[in-house]
Amino acid sequence: MSTGTIIMIVILVVLIAALIALYFFGKKAEKRQAEQKEQMDAAAQTVNMLVIDKKRMKLKEAGLPAVVLENTPKYLRRTKVAVVKAKVGPKIMTLMCDEQVFPLIPVKKEVKAVVSGIYITGVKGLRGPLETPKKKKGFFARFKKDKDQ
């Protein structure tokens, strides 16, 4: 056998081992995520709130409690998260938000939100339906002409 084929076989074996390891790691992470989702659903409460402001900001700048910062891994502390500042009852609170729910939350309006701890998992309009934001067109879709026109 030539040196080239031996190197290719070794690389192939390493790639197959990496794929198998990623498969099992993914299964384990998926189970952990399902357990966390169940726990969040069990602790969920429906709350009326007046949304004051919403932004994507770094976890350190968001003004969340110190316990939240301590419990997050160091590599995630610099990432931007969806943060909502809202008045819940007499208190003004800073809450984190799910990425799918964040675009639906209207600013300066009252909503009924499903909250689990400081995490908003769902939102409904208190007085009528929420306005869904229009989806942006892709780069090439802007140049295509409609067939109807």
Q: pLDDT value at position 138?
A: 78
**How confident is the model at residue 55, as a pLDDT?**
93
Beta strands per DSSP E along 1-109: 45-58, 80-88, 91-97
Identify the CA nearest to 131 among candidates 120, 121, 139, 123. 123
Per-residue pLDDT of the chain in tens (149 residues, 90 and over written 9): 789 999 999 999 999 999 999 999 999 999 999 998 898 888 889 999 999 999 999 888 888 888 888 888 888 888 899 999 999 989 999 999 988 999 989 999 899 999 998 899 999 888 877 776 677 777 877 777 655 44
Q: How far is CA 29 from its chain centroid?
A: 16
Task: Enumerate domains of the chain plus CATH numbers.
Answer: 43-125 (2.40.50.660)
Provide the whole-model pTM. 0.69
* Residue closest to 19 by CA, chosen among 8, 31, 11: 11
Please give the torsion angle defined by the CA atoms of residues 40, 41, 46 and 52, in that order, rounded to the nearest 10 degrees.
40
